Every structure is written in C-alpha cells, then in structure tokens.
Structure 1
Amino acid sequence: MGVPDRIASIDKPGIFSATAREAGASLVRNLSIPAPFPDPVLEAQFLEDHSRRFCAFRRASALLALTIWTCFLWWDFSFARHNKTLNIALSDILTLRFLGIALLIGVGVLVLRPSFRTHATAHRVILTGIYGLLFLLMLMVSITPSPYNYTQYFIGLYLALFFQFSFFYLKSRAALTVGVVTFVTVILLQITIRILNPEDFFAGLFYMFNVIIIGHGVCVHAERVSRERYSAERALASLNDELLTANVELERKNRQLQVSKKDQETKTNALLALKEQQMLAAETASKEKSNFLAAATHDLRQPMHALNLFLQAAAEAIRNGDFAEAERLIDECGRSSVILARLLNAVLDLSRLESGRVIPRYHVFDLKMIIEEAAEQLRPFAASRGVDLRLRLPKECLVCVRSDAHWLGRAVANLVSNAIKYANTGKTMKPTVIVGVVRSATRARIDVVDNGIGISADYWEAIFQPFFQVGNPEQDRDKGLGLGLSIVNAVISMLDEHRLELKSAEGLGSRFSVEMPLCGASPDKPSPRAQPKADASEAARLDGLYVLLVEDDGLVRASTEALLAQWGVLFDSAATFHEYEEILGSVERFPDLIITDYRLRDFKTAREVAMLGASRLGKPCPCLVVTGEPSATIVPLSCDHDVLSKPVSPADLRREILSLVSGKCPDEALQQG
C-alpha cells in the first residue's frame, strides 16, 4: 500500500502545475483581444454580418438604457428633495439628467434607422451614446457634494461600463478603450479637482478596475464566439456549396450516364442492324459471285470446247491430206483463241476492278486524244457492220481532264463498240454512231449516241450486270461478250468525280454519257516513246531482233519460242533465274529486249531479272513483263518497260515488242529496220 501512495504524492505536483498552466493559458486567452481575419475583405464581411446579427439586440439595449436613465430621474428628484445637502445641487443634477435623456432619445432615433445595421454607423452611434453618458455621469460626480457623489452617482459609471461591455456586443478593442479612457479620466479628475474622498476614490477605482477586467473578458469571449461562429458558418456554407455543386455534377453525370446508356443501346442496335445488313450483303455478294463464276465458266467453256474440236478436226484433215481444209480449221482455231482471250481478259479486268485492286494513274490529258484513238481502232469494225462512225469534237481548243487515260479509253471504246454492235441495220436510214464532247464551265461530257434499237427502261439496270445482253438469249459471241457495260460501270465508279448516265428509248436509239471535271489548259507531257504503226514495213523490223526470254512455265515458253521463230526473232530462253545468269555470262550481242514473267521460281521476280541484266550488260535493257499478276501489284522496274496481262494475243505481243524496241533509241531502231 505504501508504493501507490508514494506514486500519487509524486504525481500530484505535476497535475497541479499542468492545471495551473492550463488555467493561466485560458485566462490569457480570455483576456487577449481576438485577432482579426487575415483577409481584410473577410474581416469587413464579418463586421457587417456581426452588426446585422445583433442589430435588434442593440436597439433593445439602447431603449433599455433610456428607460433606466429616465427612472433615475425619479430617484434624483425624490431623494435630493429631502436631503438638504443634495438639494443645493438638485437643479444642476436634473439638468444633466435631462441632457442624458435628450442624448439617449437622439441615440434611440438613430438606432431605429435602417443605416444602423451597418458596422460603421452602429459603432459610431453606440460609442457616441456611451461616451456622452460617461461624460454626464462624471459631471454629476463633480458637482454633487461628498459623500453622495460616490454613493449616488459614481456607481453609475459601473452601470454604464456594464452596459457597453455586455449589451452592445462591441469589438473588444473598442470596449476596452472606453473602459481605459474612463479609468484614466477618473484618475486625472481626482488629481486635478479631487472629485472624491481618498477612501471613496481608492475603493471606487478598485471596483472600476474589476468591472473593466471582467467586462473585457466577457466582451472578448463574445467576440471570439462570434468570430468562430462566423468561420463555422462560412465553412458550412462552403461545404453546402460544394455539396450542391457535387449534387449538380452528380445529376449531370447521371443524365450523361442515361444519355450514354441510350446511345450505347442505339449503337448496339445499329451494330446489330449493320451486322444483319453485312450478312445479307455478304450472302448477296456470294450469290452474285457464284452466278458470275457460273456464267463466266459457261462462257469460257464454249470457245475452249470449239478450240479443241477445231484442233482435232485440223489434225484429222492433215492426216487425210486435205491441207486446204486444215488451214481453214486452223484459222477457226485462231478465231476461237481470240474470243477465248478476249473473254478471259474481260473477266479478269472486271474482277480486278470490282475487287479494288486497280489503282487509277491520274494525269492531265486532252480528252479528244482517247476518243480519236478509240475511233481509229473501231472504224474497221464499224465499216464491217455498215455503221457510219462520226466524231463531233472541238477543233480549236483542248479539252483537258485529269483521269486515267488507259481505263477511261477502255470505257469509251467499250461504249462505242457496244453502240456499233447494236446498230439497227434494218432501218431505212443508215445506222450511225456519233461520239461527241460537250463542255460546260467546270465539267466535260463524252456522249456516245446511236440510232439503233434502243433499250427499254425495264433493262436500264440489268444491262450493267455481267453477261447480260438485250436481244441475245442464245449468247452469240459475234454479238459480244456481255461484259462491256459492266466494265464501263466499274471503271467510272473507280474514277474520282466521274459519272455515267444513260438515256434511251426503245426503237429510237440510246445515248451513253460519261461526265468528269475539267482541268487546267495544259496537258501533261506525253510519253517520249511513240506507238509504232502496225503496217507491213514496221512488222518487218521484228526480223533479226535479239530477245532474251525468261519463262518458268514450259508450255508458255514453248509457244512463245515458236511464235518468235516464225517472226524471225533471234532468242535465248531460260526456264530459271540460274539459266538466265548463265546466258548473260555467255551472250555475244546486246539484246534488243528482255521478255520475262513477273514471278519466277525461287522467289525471283522481273525486278531481279532487270537489275541483273543491267549489271551484267553494263546498261539497262528494255523489258516486257508478260504475267498473270495484277498490274497494280508489280513493282516499277529501273528500266523502260511495259506490262501485258496473260492471255496475250500475238498482235498485242508484237505491238508491244515494236513499241519498246522503237522507243529504245531512234537511230538504233532505224538501223535495225
């Protein structure tokens, strides 16, 4: 039991000292004037809020002060009238009392005005009233005989200080200033005119000091509570604002979430609808592709079947010694081969166009050029059908457009050829096809007009489908392949800002129009290599040419060798890239041309063939690429070259050989001719 007592005795001084320090700190805090807010604007807002908050209480306190002061008038009159000592100063006392009533009535009027709610006005009015009453009370103390000046009127100073410390909620600094001024004034009056007896003076000064200290503490506490309350209310208002803002933001996000949810549902439904459309489109495309392949297979089998029969019949005629019939049958084989090549090329072109593998090569050129070329090619065909082919072109000005001259030329040639095929030769007037160019301010239009059988409106969409031909149910190849308008439609759809239009009336003819934007007045420079004419003198220049042939397909290589031999062309052929290297190592003459497939064995291409030739021969050699690859996928070679797509007719092959050889060097071409 001794140990806990000793521990308790040791801890008690520490507890007392901590409590004393805490009490001292609290006393200092309660007597320290609260610091204003650091922000002057915030301090001004607090003072205005403080004045508005206690405005009603201050008004009531002012009226209470008037009532108490007036009640003391009755006390003065009743007490002093029966006291001979006070009766001498009664008139002066009553005068001061009435002055105080007048002062408080004036203050009462001021406190009832709306401007009393402001801080500056309220402090000015309240301090005026307090200082005025304190002044009147000190005058009463001065004129009243002792000891009544202390017992009757000096205590009024305590009451006035009590009012200003507790009822008017003044700033503690201003209230303390009033108390200090009153305390110092009493001391000065005592020193100068001895307003009180010494015993009463010290007692009164002691009580006044305590009233000032206690009143200051009350005033400090009230001001601190007001400041803390104002800070708490501002914090609460800020939190309320933040909460309101958060609620508004939450509502906004909720609305956005609802909108996003609806958008998501809309997008989901759209995706589902798009997926269904894509599935239907894929099924439709698959059916169309299947129908296209079926029709293409059927049409390809016909000339192939005829070719096989013609070859077999020619072989039988040769065995029977009927060489005239064999020659005729071989000519029919050539005709079947041409039809087969044309059909296969048309099918491949249409497939490439529709698959998007063809990239247009745009340049600026004169539109009349491709029309004249198409007309030049088709005039013999038109003459054979008895059709008058006419051109209506601007003579003195260029019609420059930006397009792909090759594909646009193909489309125009197909339209003209189609118009010639369907010319109505049964009419009394001569069948005529007119090809013209019409210009506007910004666009140009090619019109292909015929006076043929016309097209019923029921077939305007169907005629652009592959293998569809009006009036040719028996699929007569002499009337065309049924792919011309399909290729035209695919070409015009591929070219930017080009448009195809059809106007036709059954029995009155048709007009196909291709419209495109005009371009600058200066066409691009044409290729320096001119196309040679396919007459007998030009064809004779093939004799004696030296060609290197690189082809890995044995059948194609053998047929090409046979054709070159018949044309009198000297050649060396290679089945592989390695054989081509060996030929270059032993070649005795610089070749006039290299003919090669694009894709060879061992991952070699025509690019390696051209590069190796330039390296071994000392300079680039013209190169003709004969391939089944799409032209758009062929990497440009580092030499003068052309690309032909298999199958190639002998006439086209001969024409391209002459073109490349004549473009090599005019002097050399002339010497070799």
Structure 2
Amino acid sequence: MRVPNRFAGIPRSWSYAAAAREAGASLVKNLSIPKPFADPALEAQFLEEHSQRFCAFRRASALLALVLWTSFLTWDLTVARQSKILSVVFTDLLVLRMLGIVLLCCVGVLVLRPSFRLHVMSARVIFTGIYGLIFLMLVMIVVTPAPFNYSQHFPGLYLALFFQFSFFYLKSRYALTVAILTLGGVVFIQAAFNVLLPADFGAGMFYLVNMAIVGHGVCVHAERVSRERYAAERELASVNSELSDANVELARKNDELEVSEKDQEVKTNALLALKEQQMLAAETASRDKSNFLAAATHDLRQPMHALNLFLQAASEAIRRGEFREAGRLIDECGRSSVILARLLNAVLDLSRLESGRVVPRYHVFDLRLIIEEAAAQLRPFAQSRGVDLRLRLPRESLVCVRSDAHWLGRAVANLISNAIKYAKTTDDATPTVIVGVIRSPTRARVDVVDNGIGISAAHWESIFQPFFQVGNPEQDRDKGLGLGLSIVNAVISMLDEHRIELKSAEGLGSRFSLEMPLCGASPEKPAPRVPAKGDADEIRHLDGLYVLLVEDDGLVRASTEALLSQWGVLYDSAATFEEYEEILESLERFPDLVITDYRLRDFKTAREVAMLCTAKLGRPCPTLVVTGEPQATIVPLACTHDVLSKPVSPADLRQEILSLISGRCPDFADEAV
C-alpha cells in the first residue's frame, strides 16, 4: 500500500533561514503602518467612509467605557474602606474618578451628535477621551501609595490601550502615538516621582510594551483590511458603474434595434405596397395602352376604309367615262388621306411624348410670335365655321419666355383649333374665340377663351384622355380626332415649370390657360418667313427643279416619283446607296435638293447620303429627310436640312421643298423625329 507523502507540498529549496526570513517579512508587514492613498481626495473620502462605517460601534464603545469607569468607582470605594492606606487618598481618587465620569459623559454627549459621523469630529472626541483618561490614570498612579498604585490603577492603562487599539478602529499611526505617549508618561512619572516599586515598574513596562506591540499589529491589520475593502468596493462600484453604463448602452442599442426592426418592417411593408402599386399601375398602363391601341386602330380604319371605297368608286367612274364624278371621288380620297395622315401623326406624337423620347429644346423667344403664327394658320378654318378669332396681345413690349417654341406652338394651336371646333353656331350671338396673353412679374399666361358649348365638371379629367370628345358621340371627324387636348397635356407635362388650367361651365364656354416662366432677356432673332402662296403658285415654283430621290421602299418611291412628275420636278431616284453613288458619278446638273429616307439598307443613313453628295459634288446640297421611324435620332447633317415624319401630306412636302430651296432652315425641323 502506498503511503501518502506528508511533505509533498513543501518545496525542496525550503530551509530554516528562508522560513525565518518569510516570518520576519510578515511581521514587518503586519507592524508597518499602511500608506495612505496617493490621491488626497481619495484618502479624504476613505476616512469619511471609514468614520461613517464604524460610527455606531464607536458610540457603543464610548458608552461602554463610561460604564466601566463608573464601575471602577465602586471598586475604589470598596477597597478604600478595607485599607487604611488607601483611605488617606480616597478623596483624591474620588475627585479623579468623578473628573473621569464628567469627561466620559461629555464624550458620550458628543458621540451621539450627528457631527460625530465626520472623521475630524470623531477623531477629536475619541482622542480627547483617551488622552484625558490616561492622564487621570497616571495621576491616580502618582497619588496612590505603592504597591497599591500598581495593583489597583496600573491595569487601567492596559484597558485604555485595549479600547483604543481595538474598539475605536483608529488609524494605526494615531493609536501607536497614544501608546508611545503612555509609555513615555509612565517612564516620566517613575523617573520624576519614583512612585512604583522597581519590580512593579519592570513588570508594568513589560506588559505595556507587549500590549502596544500586539495592539499596534491588530490596529494595522484592521486599517489595512479596511483600506483594501474600500479599494475593492470602489473597484466594484466602478465595475458596477461600467456594467450599469453598459446595460444602459445595451438597452439603448436594443431600443434602437427594435426601432430599426420596426423601421425595416415599415420599409418592407412600404416596398411591398409600392410593388403592388407598381403592379397595379403597370396593369392599368397596359390596359390603357390596349384601350388606346384599340381606339387608335378603330379610328385609323375609318378613313382607310373610306379611302379604299372612294378609290374603287373612282375606278368604276373612270371605267364608265364619268370623269367629273371620278375627279370628285379622287378629291374625297385626298380628304380621307389627309384625315388618315393627321390621325396617324397625332397618335405618333402622343406616343412619343408619353414615352419620354422627346427632349425639349429650350430657348428664349417672343411668345406673341407663336400665337400670331397659330392664329394665321387657323384663321381660314375659323372663317369657314363662322367663328370670330380675336387676339389680345401686348403691343408695346415683348413677352419673352423660356420654352420649346415648337411644342408650345403645337399646344397653343391645338387649344385654338379645339375652341373653334366646339364653338356654338346655332345661337344668335356670333361664336367667338379670344386668345390673350397676361404677364406677371415672373410668369406669362396664354388664355384661350371661347363662348362655346362648355364642359361640365364631370368631364374635366376625361377630356385630357385620348379619343375622348364631349358632344361628339357620332365621332364626326370634322370635330377633331379626340387627341388634341391629350397632346396639349403631354406637352405641358414635358416642359419644365409649365402648367395648364381649365375653367368651364356647361353652356357658358371654356377658358384654357397655359402658364410658363417669363424671361427678361431679348429673344433670338427670328428666321425670315416665307410668304404664303396658293397651291398653284407653289407648284409653279417647283416646275423645273432637279431632285435626287433616295428611298429603299418601292411603294413610297413610286408614289413620290408620281407626285414629283405632276409638279413638274425633274428627278433621278435610287433604291440603294450604291445606285445613288452611280447617279452622282454621272450627273450633268447640280441638284437643287436631295430627298432621302433616314435609314437605308446596309446600315446606311441620310448622313452618309449628304456626306457622299458633298464629297462628289464639291459642296453641300440641301437635304430633306423623310423618315418612318419616330424613335430615330437624327444625327445633324453637314448641310442645310429638314426632317419630316411619315406620313407626309403633299402640301407639307411641297412647303418643305420650297423652304429648303429658298435657303430657310426651320428652327424646329428635327422635332418631327
């Protein structure tokens, strides 16, 4: 059986000398006065906290000292009666005892006051009592004969030191000072008065010294433990404070997390709602687009159907020799074709505006010019319907605005045309349309006022929808296509800081108002106008012109050739870019104009057509681009050019040809793309 080694925990380097040094170091440590805290403020806080902590125990110890001192009075009375020697000094002892009682009563009253909790006050009261009692006991030792002074009163010094070392929890430095002074007092009275027997003096000093050493060690230990406890409590309080702060911060972050989660939930719900709204908006847009296409298809079929029937009827009339009737029918074909082209262009314009492919071209111009131009174009139409068209424009100064003149002019013309179409012609009063301009410090307003049929409030939103018309259930094309106000609304929505306003009452007419920013700058110099001519005059000016036609669509090329021939225009036509190049190689006359589609075969465009013409002939030639792609972006050509969007009416084509050969290039030519 294995026997456990009782010395297993003892290191091999152990020796008596090491043990002695360790014991000596421990003794020195336990007898060394603890150092105060380095921070004076912290030391003061410790002393106050120490005094308050032991305040109750100090009060109890002071009262206990009063009881013990009083009980010794009874002891002195008893001993004095039994000893004739002590009875001689009994009066002195009684006086000293009574002085001690008075001193302790005063101390007792002071220790019960609230101020005793303060360090300075408690130290003063305690040391007053201790020093006072030790002094009284030393006096008793002096007045009492030997050996009674040693046996009856000297042990009182032990008791006093015992109280001040243990019960009052004093600073070790102060308690040690009391013990040293007590020892010094005994030595002094012995040396001065020789009151103690030598044997009693030696024994008394031996016990006093041991009492001082042991008491000092106890007091040092108590103070060190108290200081360590205070430091630990402060550290713990600091840790608790940090922990509390951490808990507060954690609670704050938790609250923030909850708020963030709520915000995230709200955002998620908002995103879901937005997604649902977008889906509903997409479905609504798709449905509206389908309805728009259905309505546009229906309206396009009507003039196309009429055109086919008129052509067939004209063909039958020519076959029967009824040439006058055939001419009338062909004129009706032209009317149907104009309506078809007008409707198609309106649909394309509205589609481009709503898709965002049209980019406004802002500049400063005189607002009166586009109003006068629109009125000049529509005045014959107003006269044909018996409508009095009036202008109310400022004459004394310019009305400069910043806008897109082309599209703003289109909007104004549509409003004037709309007012003319819906004018009352059955009443005795003359149907009237007034177009006026009103200025404010920062805005300009165009008012189009009529005394027509008016619009009820129930239709104010609907009239801006495509193909919606008030008072035209039979879809009479003479009253319009139902797209004019839709285009106006799309144009105003596209232009920055532009607004449209409607005021109307059923049977009392309407007022449409367009607002736009007013500018103080001078307008750009307007381009020269081409005087208006009749159809015969325009055709006469075209007679003898030489035109190069580049068109890859056979049907469009053949119809354009036929129209040019009827106008007396000489031409060469090419179906491809290579044919056009061959024509340029064999030219005998410089062309007056080049008419070309924008996008040709083999990725060629009107830009290559214009550049090749300039390269072959040595100088640029005016070019008219007729394109069937409304979404195409026309790259500026290196020559005078204009752009028209298919379908193009013969009158518009004729006017653009005359404009280009006369050297006029419209400011807004490429807006048709």
- Pick the TM interval, shorter chain: 0.7 to 0.9
CA distance in 1, matches of 2:243, 2:193: 66
Aligned residues: 664
Q: State yes or no: 1:75 paired with 2:81.
A: no
Are the structure 2 counterparts of residues 51 and 260 from structure 1 closer, same or farther at C-alpha, using a change threshold of 3 Å? same
3-state secondary structure, aligned to 1:307: helix
Task: Sort the Cα spacing of 1:88 and 1:394 in 2 relative to 1 into closer, same or farther, 3 A.
Answer: same
- Deviation at 1:655? 3.5
More moved, 218-227 vs 534-543: 534-543
Of 151-160 and 656-665, more deviation after overlay is shown by 656-665
Give the TM-score taking structure 2 as reference length: 0.83
Query: What is the root-mean-square deviation of aligned Cα atoms in Å?
Result: 4.2
Cα shift at 1:64: 1.5
Q: 2:444·2:516 contact (CA, 8 Å) conserved in 1? A: yes
Map of 1:530 onto structure 2: 528
Distance 1:369 1:262 in 2: 59
Q: Which residue of 1 aligns with 2:380?
A: 380
| Contact preservation (8 Å) 2:437, 2:445 | yes
Aligned AA (2:207): Y
CA contact (8 A) 1:423 1:450 kept: yes
Task: Give the superposition deviation at 1:347.
Answer: 0.8
1:371 maps onto 2:371 in alignment: yes
- Which one-letter code corresponds to 1:516 in the other structure? E
> Structure 1 pair 515/311, CA: closer, same or farther in 2 (3 Å)?
closer
Q: What per-residue deviation string (whole Å, max 9, x for no partner) do you get for residues 505-524 of structure 1?
A: 4444x213224254233354
Residue 307 (structure 2) pairs with residue 307 (structure 1): yes
Q: Is residue 183–residue 208 contact of structure 1 (8 Å, CA) maintained in 2?
A: yes
Query: Aligned AA for 1:532?
Result: V
SS at 2:99 equivalent: helix
Which stretch shifts more, 49-58 or 309-318? Answer: 309-318
Determine if contact 1:532/1:655 at 8 Å carries over to the other structure. no
State the SS of the aligned residue for 1:532: coil
Q: Quote how far apart the aligned CAs of 1:62 are.
A: 1.4
- CA shift at 1:375, angstroms? 0.5
Q: Is the deviation greater in 45-54 or in 135-144? A: 135-144
Report how far residue 382 of structure 1 moved. Answer: 0.9
Shift of 1:214: 1.9
Q: Deviations over 1:158-208 (max 9, x none)?
A: 222211111111223332333344445555666666665554444433323
SS state of the match for residue 525, structure 1? coil
Match of 1:14, SS state, is: coil
Change (3 A) 1:230 1:312: same
Deviating more after overlay: 635-644 vs 583-592: 583-592
Unmatched runs of 5 consecutive residues or more in structure 1: 667-673
Retained in 1: the 8 A contact 2:528–2:664?
A: no
Task: Determine helix, strand or coil for the equivalent of 1:398.
Answer: coil
Q: Distance in 2 between matches of 1:142 and 1:622?
A: 144
Number of the residue aligned with 1:426: 426
Counterparts of 1:373-452 in structure 2, within 5 Å, are: 373-440=373-440, 442-452=442-452
1:76-128 Cα deviation digits (max 9, x unpaired): 44435654555555544444443333332222222222111122222222223
C-alpha distance in structure 2 between counterparts of 1:580 and 1:184, whole Å? 138
CA positional deviation for 1:326: 4.8
Does the aligned pair in 2 maintain the 1:398–1:521 contact within 8 Å?
no
CA distance in 2 between partners of 1:545 and 1:471 (Å): 48
Shift of 1:296: 0.9
Q: Which amino acid aligns with 2:518?
A: C
Q: For the residues of structure 1 that align with 2:77 and 2:606, how far apart are their CA atoms?
A: 137
User: Match of 2:158?
Assistant: 158
Is the counterpart of residue 215 in structure 1 residue 238 in structure 2? no
The residue that corresponds to 2:358 in the other structure is: 358
Of 2-11 and 127-136, more deviation after overlay is shown by 2-11
Query: In 1, distance between residues paired with 2:353 and 2:477?
Result: 23
2:671 corresponds to: none
Q: Which runs of 5+ in 2 are unaligned?
A: 667-673
**1:445-524 superposed matches below 5 A:** 445-508=445-508, 510-524=509-523
Give the 3-state SS of the residue equivalent to 2:154 in structure 1: helix
Partner of residue 669, structure 1: none
Does the Cα contact within 8 Å between 1:530 and 1:659 map onto a contact in 2? no
The CA deviation string for residues 643-666 of structure 1, in whole angstroms up to 9 with x for no partner, is 432222233334444445555799
Between the aligned partners of 2:665 and 2:643, the Cα distance in structure 1 is 20
1: CA distance between counterparts of 2:580 and 2:83? Answer: 153
In the alignment, the residues of structure 1 paired with residue 620 and residue 120 of structure 2 have an alpha-carbon distance, to the nearest angstrom, of 103
Which residue of structure 2 aligns with residue 337 of structure 1? 337
Show the counterpart of 2:291.
291
**CA–CA distance in structure 1, aligned partners of residues 419 and 365 of structure 2:** 25
Partner of 1:127: 127
Deviations 1:136-171 (A, max 9, x none): 333444454444444433333322221111111122
* TM-score normalised to structure 1 length: 0.83
Sort the Cα spacing of 1:633 and 1:144 in 2 relative to 1 into closer, same or farther, 3 A.
farther
1:225 maps to: 225
The letter of the residue matching 1:648 is V
Q: Is the 8 A contact 1:171 1:223 kept in 2?
A: yes
Partner of 1:169: 169
